[in-house]
């Protein structure tokens, strides 16, 4: 296979001297370090912090091409959500219900429990898990509306026991998506504001006259959303900084090339900056997938976005063998990894970094996006090295519990006193010493 670039996708080989340089260029996503975006986002955040609703309204009119003059026009009532749900065709209502049920079942298993144990001296130690009071969920709505993201964000929040869920979703040109509204109803969202971008993140982080301030903001979004989340972190919790969607497929050459081409498109069609990479040690298979890509790309509704994404950040990579494929997985740490191989289970132990792992030829990433059960909000841009899928744990926090018995306080007091005096902290030492028996 030659190292050429077809009309749509780069062809790389690990045997080429420039391979690592070219891969680095593909993996590099400027994202939240883009200076112009940062400046614009900072301006929007400061404006919303200062002027509240009015700043949100003006930014929404500008970026989503609306002409509203009051925040009520950007707020949906529970009745509107229910009406959207009731009005859905049965097929869509059923699909949402099945997806919601499976997502709920999966996330129920993530529920951590509070625990306690007793030391020999009678001291009880433990950990208490408490849900957040109020969570803000960002549902993307710029290039496409994402009802599935409503479920993926709101259901774990519910399972965690969050008291109030505030959802924001932009509606460019004022177009409401009934499935999004219906999903919000089904998932038990308390408030929905039809706002997006940095202004929505600011409203959730600082609160406005109409938008309640939340404790944590979760959910994916574009570069403005990601940049804003990073900027407000500290005043409010965030789940992660999610970049554009990514897929990495590893194929043993035995999967239908059309299936693989479509799996690559499934993430490429999200965003011009999405990343789609296929790795295989079978050169003929890569050629076949390249042909499938050329033939099938024009059949997509979002062909221009998918083509741009494949051009910018797509690659078909020829590697030497399975071991080299594993190396590449751990280096790229993809958001989604498809193991399109005969025995995916045999690979698992060696894979250290991936947001979600789709096992075997029949497990397309798209099933995970909608309804398999696990969360589709996943770490991107290599951050799977240190972070995890959105989950129930993102909507809870832990407090430690310490309950000393008189005997425990006496014994621990001796230890604490020595350590405190070593730090020259007299009050610490004496506070501990007061509780030592028979001093
Ligand atoms: N990881 C996931 O789970 C997941 C799920 C769905 C989508 N995604 C990703 O989320 C992203 C969605 O992006 P999107 O754009 O479609 O929707 P979005 O809702 O994230 O962004 C739309 C908003 O961006 C703001 N905006 C647009 N242009 C602007 C400008 N020039 N200046 C200031 N603000 C501007 C507007 O306020 C608009 O409302 C995609 O990258 C997609 O891949 C990720
Ligand atoms: N693939 C996206 C996460 O990266 C999630 C999604 C929603 N709808 C379709 N796909
Ligand atoms: Zn997707």
Distance between start and end Cα atoms, the chain: 82
Which ligand has the shortest distance to the CA of 383? Answer: 1
Is 376 a pocket residue for ligand 2 (Cβ < 6 Å)? yes
Cα(199)–Cα(342) distance, integer angstroms: 47
Annotated binding site: 138, 199, 222, 245, 267, 270, 336, 369, 423, 428
Distance 111 CA to ligand 2 centre (A): 24
Q: Could you list the pLDDT tens digit for every one of the 439 residues in the chain?
A: 444 445 679 999 999 999 999 999 889 876 667 889 999 999 999 999 999 999 999 999 999 999 999 999 999 999 999 999 999 999 999 999 999 999 999 999 999 999 999 999 999 999 999 999 999 999 999 878 899 999 999 999 999 999 999 999 999 999 999 999 999 999 999 999 999 999 999 999 999 999 999 999 999 999 999 999 999 999 999 999 988 999 999 999 999 999 999 999 999 999 999 999 999 999 999 999 999 999 999 999 999 999 999 999 999 999 999 999 999 999 999 999 999 999 999 999 999 999 999 999 999 999 999 999 999 999 999 999 999 999 999 999 999 999 999 999 999 999 999 999 999 999 999 999 999 998 7
Active-site annotation holds for 158 = no
Ligand 1 centroid – CA 169 distance (Å): 10
Q: C-alpha 5: how far from its chain's center?
A: 31
Looking at all shown ligands, the one closest to residue 58's CA atom is 1
* pLDDT (0 to 100) of residue 348: 98
Run of H or E including 125: strand 124-131
Which is nearest to 389 in space by CA: 242, 193, 192, 208?
A: 242
Region at 31 (left for phi over 0; alpha for psi -120 to 50; beta for the rest): left
Question: Of the residues 29, 141, 148, which should be mutated to test ligand 2's pocket, given the most ligand atoms within 8 Å of the CB?
Answer: 148
Ligand 2, atom 6, residue with closest C-alpha: 369
CA of 152, closest atom in ligand 1: 3
Q: For residue 411, report the distance from its CA to the centre of ligand 2, in Å.
A: 55
Task: Give the nearest ligand 2 atom to 144 CA.
Answer: 8
Of 158, 185, 285, 336, the active-site residue reads 336
Longest CA–CA separation in the chain, Å: 86
The whole-angstrom separation of Cα 220 and Cα 237 is 14
- Decide if 335 is catalytic: yes
Q: Which residues lie with the beta carbon below 6 Å from any ligand 1 atom? A: 40, 63-64, 140-144, 146, 149, 170, 196-197, 220-222, 224-225, 242, 244-245, 270-271, 274, 376-378
Neighbours of ion ligand 3 (CB under 5 A): 369
Q: What angle do CA 395, 397, 401 make, to 5 degrees?
A: 155
Catalytic residue among 246, 335, 338, 411: 335
Say how many Å lie between the CA of residue 236 and the centre of ligand 1: 20
Residues making up the binding site for substrate: 245, 267, 270, 336, 369, 423, 428
Residue 219 makes CB contacts below 8 A (sequence gap 6+) with: 137, 138, 139, 140, 149, 153, 239, 242, 377, 390
Report phi then psi at 70, rounded to 5. Answer: -145, 150
CA–CA separation, 360 vs 341, rounded Å? 6
Q: Is the CB of 271 under 6 A from ligand 2?
A: no
The answer, yes or no, to whether any atom of ligand 2 lies below 6 A from the CB of 123, is: no
Q: What is the pLDDT at residue 31? A: 66
pLDDT of 302 reads: 95
Pairwise CA distance, residues 176 & 115, whole Å = 45
* pLDDT confidence of residue 30: 67
Q: Which two tokens stand for residue 246?
A: 């990514």
Confirm if 10 and 1 have CB atoms less than 8 A apart. Answer: no
149 CA closest ligand 2 atom index: 7
Compute, in angstroms, the gap from residue 233 CA to the centroid of ligand 1.
19
Ligand closest to 377 (CA) is 1
- For residue 245 and ligand 2, the question of a CB distance below 6 A is answered with yes
Q: How much distance in Å is there from the Cα of 242 to the middle of ligand 1?
A: 11
Strand order in the sheet with 191-193: 75-76, 191-193, 164-168, 134-138, 216-218, 237-238
């Amino acid at each position: 296979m030659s190292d050429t670039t077809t009309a749509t996708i780069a062809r790389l080989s690990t045997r080429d001297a420039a391979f690592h340089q070219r891969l680095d260029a593909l993996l590099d996503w400027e994202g939240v370090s883009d200076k112009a975006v940062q400046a614009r986002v900072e301006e929007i955040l400061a404006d919303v912090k200062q002027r509240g609703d009015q700043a949100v309204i003006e930014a929404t009119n500008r970026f989503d091409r609306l002409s509203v003059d009051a925040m009520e026009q950007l707020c949906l009532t529970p009745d509107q959500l229910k009406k959207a749900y009731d009005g859905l065709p049965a097929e869509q209502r059923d699909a949402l219900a099945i997806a919601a049920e499976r997502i709920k079942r999966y996330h129920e298993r993530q529920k951590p429990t509070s625990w306690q144990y007793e030391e020999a001296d009678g001291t009880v130690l433990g950990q208490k898990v408490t849900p957040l009071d109020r969570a803000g969920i960002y549902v993307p709505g710029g290039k496409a509306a994402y009802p599935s993201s409503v479920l993926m964000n709101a259901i774990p929040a519910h399972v965690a026991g969050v008291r109030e869920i505030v959802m924001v979703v932009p509606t460019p040109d004022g177009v409401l998506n009934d499935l999004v509204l219906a999903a919000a109803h089904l998932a038990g969202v308390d408030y929905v504001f039809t706002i997006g971008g940095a202004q929505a993140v600011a409203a959730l982080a600082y609160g406005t006259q109409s938008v309640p301030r939340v404790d944590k903001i979760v959910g994916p979004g574009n570069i403005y959303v990601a940049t804003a989340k990073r900027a407000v972190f500290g005043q409010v919790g965030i789940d992660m900084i999610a970049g554009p969607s990514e897929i990495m497929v590893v194929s043993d050459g035995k999967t239908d090339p059309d299936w693989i081409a479509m799996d690559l498109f499934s993430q490429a069609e999200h965003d011009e900056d999405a990343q789609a990479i296929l790795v295989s040690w079978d050169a003929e298979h890569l050629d076949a997938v390249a042909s499938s890509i050329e033939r099938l790309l024009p059949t997509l509704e979002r062909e221009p976005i998918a083509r741009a994404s494949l051009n910018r950040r797509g690659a078909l990579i020829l590697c030497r063998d399975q071991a080299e494929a594993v190396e590449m997985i751990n280096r790229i740490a993809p958001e989604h990894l498809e193991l399109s191989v005969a025995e995916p289970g045999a690979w698992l132990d060696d894979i250290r970094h991936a947001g979600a792992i789709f096992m075997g030829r029949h497990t397309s990433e798209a099933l995970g996006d909608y309804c398999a059960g696990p969360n589709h909000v996943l770490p991107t841009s290599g951050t799977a090295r240190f972070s995890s899928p959105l989950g129930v744990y993102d909507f809870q926090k832990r407090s430690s519990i310490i309950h000393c018995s008189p005997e425990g306080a006496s014994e621990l007091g001796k230890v604490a006193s020595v350590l405190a005096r070593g730090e020259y902290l007299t009050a610490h030492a004496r506070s501990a010493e007061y509780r030592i028996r028979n001093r």
